[in-house]
């Protein structure tokens, strides 16, 4: 009797690194091939919240001192990092939530830190005033356009689970920051009546050890800047919809909330919930498909295609396009955490960093 037909993978995944400690979220690759990864403080023991992968080892980066905060409001050390991103001129930026275990933030904790990869030293620390990084703010991911202003702009998603979502814009020359699309409907999680995610064939809800289940409430999460820098794409984690907004409207501090909102475009239904977004230099937008163990991309002609689909892609989280022509992706089994599994930790180590060849490069707006 022949074997039944089974689900077939698409594309090829190369294992770059297996993680046997805490779960990773962000990854970024320098122009010379150095790989940086971060581990938010969500309950695992986290010896270092930012590391460089060197000869198979996870080395605290830029050093151990920067990974030992004195408190959740320490502006001189990393508190709980959600994202690391190499910018268009090959500098590493570290996005620190200042929010271990999603606790309320305090000024000094949430920050954007620039590290010089030539000297492996911190060159700039940008903290946020309390009307920009709110107590509820969760700084999630960041993209750069270095052509704007004196030193460029950064765009950051606020994926707050219990507060206003939005986009935070940062002037890298002055450190000044401001909120855009504050609590706009496009940045918010969708209610269970419109979005009911299914991961590994099972409905995904917040399921505490005691108490009733509740829907995911994570808002604007994934972020990608278009190849020409004119549009910023973003998506709530708890939604299958995605959106874009004109970067001109984000960048101009004199733009009113209504004027900025008028430039928002509904980009459509992705067919999946997504955690990470990314773009390449030939105009394609990539999205993780955590409901399908896959990475998809939308071509400039509007067609979607599957880049990779693999049973090992258990919760593909962050995407990073590198100059080596590969797309890197972390898979961290986020949905198997105790908070989704009635207090049981169903994650099975190792977690993984994969890459797949895409024959394109990163968006380098410089």
Average pLDDT of the segment spanning 124-139: 98
pTM for the complete prediction? 0.98
Alpha-carbon distance of 97 to 188, in angstroms, equals 18
Handedness of CA 307, 312, 314, 317 (dihedral sign): negative
**What are the Cα distances from residue 91, in Å, to 101, 116, 229?**
28, 6, 19
| Mean predicted confidence (pLDDT) in 3-8 | 94
Q: Specify the pLDDT at position 2.
A: 85
**Residue 1: predicted pLDDT:** 79
CA torsion sign, 300 to 301 to 302 to 306? negative
- Span 324-345, mean pLDDT? 98
pLDDT-derived band at 228 (thresholds 50, 70, 90) equals very high
Q: Is the dihedral of CA 327, 332, 333, 334 positive or negative?
A: negative
| pLDDT exceeds cutoff 90 at 259 | yes
Mean pLDDT of the chain: 98
Domains of the chain as residue ranges with CATH:
14-357 (2.120.10.30)
The mean per-residue pLDDT over the stretch 49-59 comes to 98
Query: What is the tens place of the pLDDT at every residue in 160-216?
Result: 999 999 999 999 999 999 999 999 999 999 999 999 999 999 999 999 999 999 999
Q: Which of 3-7, 63-67, 125-129, 215-219 has the lowest mean pLDDT?
A: 3-7
The CB-based long-range contact list for 344-352 (8 Å cut-off, 24+ gap) reads: 347/23, 349/19, 349/20, 350/18, 350/19, 350/20, 351/18, 351/19, 351/23, 351/24, 352/15, 352/17, 352/18, 352/19, 352/312
């Amino acid at each position: 009797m022949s074997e039944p037909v089974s689900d077939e993978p698409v594309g090829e995944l190369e294992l770059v690194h297996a993680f046997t400690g805490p779960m990773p979220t962000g990854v970024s690759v320098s122009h010379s091939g150095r790989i940086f990864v971060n581990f938010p403080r969500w309950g695992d023991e986290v010896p270092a919240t930012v590391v460089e992968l060197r000869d198979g080892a996870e080395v605290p980066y830029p050093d151990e001192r920067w990974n030992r905060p004195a408190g959740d409001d320490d502006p001189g050390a990393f508190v709980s990092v959600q994202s690391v991103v190499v910018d268009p001129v090959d500098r590493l930026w570290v996005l620190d939530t200042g929010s271990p275990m999603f606790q309320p933030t305090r000024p000094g904790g949430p920050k954007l830190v620039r590290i010089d990869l030539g000297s492996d030293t911190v060159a700039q620390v940008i903290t946020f005033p309390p009307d920009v990084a709110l107590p509820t703010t969760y700084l999630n991911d960041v993209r750069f356009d270095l052509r704007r202003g004196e030193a460029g702009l950064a765009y950051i998603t606020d994926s707050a689970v219990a507060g206003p979502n939005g986009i935070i814009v940062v002037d890298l020359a002055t450190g000044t920051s401001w909120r855009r699309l504050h609590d706009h409907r496009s940045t918010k999680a969708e209610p269970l009546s419109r979005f009911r995610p299914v991961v590994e064939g099972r409905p995904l809800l917040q399921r505490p050890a005691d108490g009733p289940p509740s829907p995911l409430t994570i808002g604007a999460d994934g972020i990608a800047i278009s190849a020409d820098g004119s549009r910023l794409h973003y998506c709530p984690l708890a939604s299958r919809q995605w959106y874009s907004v004109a970067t001109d409207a984000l960048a101009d501090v004199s733009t009113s909330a209504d004027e900025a909102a008028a430039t928002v475009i509904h980009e459509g239904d992705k067919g999946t919930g997504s955690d990470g977004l990314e773009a390449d230099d030939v105009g394609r937008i990539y999205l993780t498909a955590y409901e399908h163990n896959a990475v998809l991309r939308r071509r400039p002609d509007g067609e979607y295609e599957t880049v990779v689909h693999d049973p090992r892609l258990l919760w593909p989280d962050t995407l990073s396009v590198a100059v080596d022509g590969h797309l890197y992706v972390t898979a961290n089994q986020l949905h198997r955490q105790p908070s989704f599994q009635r207090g049981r930790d169903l994650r099975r180590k190792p977690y993984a960093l994969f890459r797949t060849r895409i024959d394109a490069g990163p968006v380098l707006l410089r």
